[in-house]
Amino acid sequence: MPAIQVKTASAKYPVLVGSGILPTLYRRLPKRNHVFVLTSPEIWALWSKRFLASFPKDIQPSVLFLPAGEQHKRLIHVERLASELASAGADRSSLLVAFGGGIIGDMGGFLAAIYMRGIDYIQMPSTLLAQVDSSVGGKTGANLAVGKNLIGSFHHPLAVYADIDLLQTLSTRELRAGLFESIKAGVIRDARLFRFMEQNVAAILKREGKALEYVIAASIRMKANVVGIDERESGLRMILNFGHTIGHAIEAATHYRKLLHGEAIAWGMIAALHLGRTRGTISPAQADRVECAIFSYGPLPVFNTTTAKLLEATSHDKKNREGKRRFVLPNSIGNASVVEDVTDAELTAAIDWMLAKVRKS
């Protein structure tokens, strides 16, 4: 199985994508005295038998749990989990495997970053979103009451093992939500991936192995390339936020309850495409094609909010610097750039356009 290499200024590690990785997990891990697994009770109920079967009977990992849900991505759990590691005798040579979706990956990575000032960990992502996006790139963290992902650190895993078989138990809604991040990957930097997703909707939604593997590997390759060039998001990495300025505003305005992250980003991309369309950075024909592709992976849930609320929420965007709003604009399918001069009037028009589509859905 060919590995995709992530190579940044501070780390180098392989990302494996394919079927049948879980049964071979143990022999892929570096040999350590103590292996810990962080997972959620739901995922463990589905996959523990197959997970543990890869370990020799006399060398079983210790299992730590984090309940599912964004409300548990909090420091209080990091402290609890660190105490559990300490009680179980974890030391600097212990290894942590983060086995789950993006929440487990972000929290596991953060725990590994700060336990005894840093231990090694492996990402074993089990949602599509975690496989195509969050497990790669070294961003780890937790939420504060006032905002998402406001504490954290960069801590890269030793390796990422993305077993596509894990996706067979994922809900269709979660699958679709992850696919919107792959559409994003295609639009900002990989026209071939975008075309593939445009032409293979049925196969991808049916989770056909070859089609899924292509989409996941291409998305990861794109992200690995971008974070290899700009690990700390001082420039290029910001393009990964295409659709995220308004997407995050939608998530905040709907209190993170109504939409999954990928669904909010899909609506955010529709707004950003309109901004590009009216500015003339992307041709109307290409913008329409992307919008059409997004809806072909729908349905997108509707939500209730106002343009004013969304506009206000975009002013808290983490990309903004010194009062300047940063916005990712599509130039053509496969190319995007970051601009700083987007006006309130342009954003208002883009949000109005998107909300009109929400109302029609």
Question: Residues interacting with ligand NAD, by CB under 6 A?
Answer: 40, 42-43, 46, 68, 70, 73, 100-104, 106, 126-127, 129-130, 133-134, 137, 139, 148-149, 166, 169-170, 174, 261
* Interaxial angle between packed helices 307-314 and 344-360, expressed in degrees from 0 to 180 and rounded to the nearest 10: 130
Single out the catalytic residue among 233, 318, 326, 335. Answer: 233
Given the residues 139, 155, 184, 221, the one annotated as active site: 139
- Closest separation between CB of residue 1 and ligand NAD, Å? 19
Cα–Cα dist 165/55, whole Å: 18
CA–CA separation, 270 and 250 (whole Å): 12
| Pick 90 or 129: Cβ nearer ligand NAD | 129
Q: Using CA atoms, how far apart are residues 125 and 141, in angstroms rounded to an integer?
A: 16
The yes-or-no answer on residue 74 being catalytic is no
CA distance 310 to 246: 7
Q: Please confirm, yes or no, whether 244 is among the known catalytic residues.
A: yes
DSSP readout, 218-248?
A: HHHHHHHHHHHH-TTSSSGGGGGGTTHHHHH
**Min separation Cβ 107 and ligand NAD, Å:** 8
Annotated catalytic residue within 155, 189, 221, 237: 237
Q: CB under 8 Å to 299, separation ≥6 — which residues?
A: 361
Residue with Cβ nearer ligand NAD (80 or 148): 148
In the complex, minimum distance from the CB of residue 169 to ligand NAD, in angstroms, rounded to a whole number: 4
237 classed as catalytic: yes
Alpha carbon distances (Å) from 346 to 22, 102, 272, 327: 48, 32, 10, 11
Q: Of the listed 244, 274, 277, 289, which one is catalytic?
A: 244
Residue-wise burial string across 250-266, b where 16 or more C-beta atoms lie within 10 A, e elsewhere: bbbbbebebbbbbbbbb
Give, in order, the Cα–Cα distances in Å from 37 to each of 51, 55, 97.
10, 12, 5
Whether 72 sits among the annotated catalytic residues: the reply is: no
- Cis peptide bond N-terminal to 284, omega within 30: no
**346 counts as catalytic:** no
Smallest gap from Cβ 156 to ligand NAD, in A, equals 11
Q: How many CB atoms lie within 10 A of CB 158?
A: 16
Rounded least distance, CB 125 to ligand NAD, Å: 7
Active site residue 174: no
Angle, helices 191-199/172-189, rounded to nearest 10 degrees: 140
Residue placing its CB nearer to ligand NAD in the complex, 73 or 176: 73
Task: Output 50 or 80, the one with its CB closest to ligand NAD.
Answer: 50
**Residue 335 to residue 325: CA distance in whole angstroms:** 20
Verify whether residue 233 is a known catalytic residue.
yes
Q: Is 208 a catalytic residue?
A: no
- Between 45 and 356, CB nearer to ligand NAD: 45
Known catalytic residue at 77:
no
156, 184, 189, 248: the catalytic one is 248
The residue from 221, 261, 289, 325 that is catalytic is: 261
Residue 115 or 286 having the CB closest to ligand NAD: 115
Least distance from ligand NAD to the Cβ atom of residue 231, Å: 12
Dmax (CA) of the chain: 65
Nearest to ligand NAD of 130, 238 (CB atom): 130
CB of 310 to ligand NAD, least distance (A): 19
Catalytic residues: 117, 139, 181, 223, 233, 237, 241, 244, 248, 261
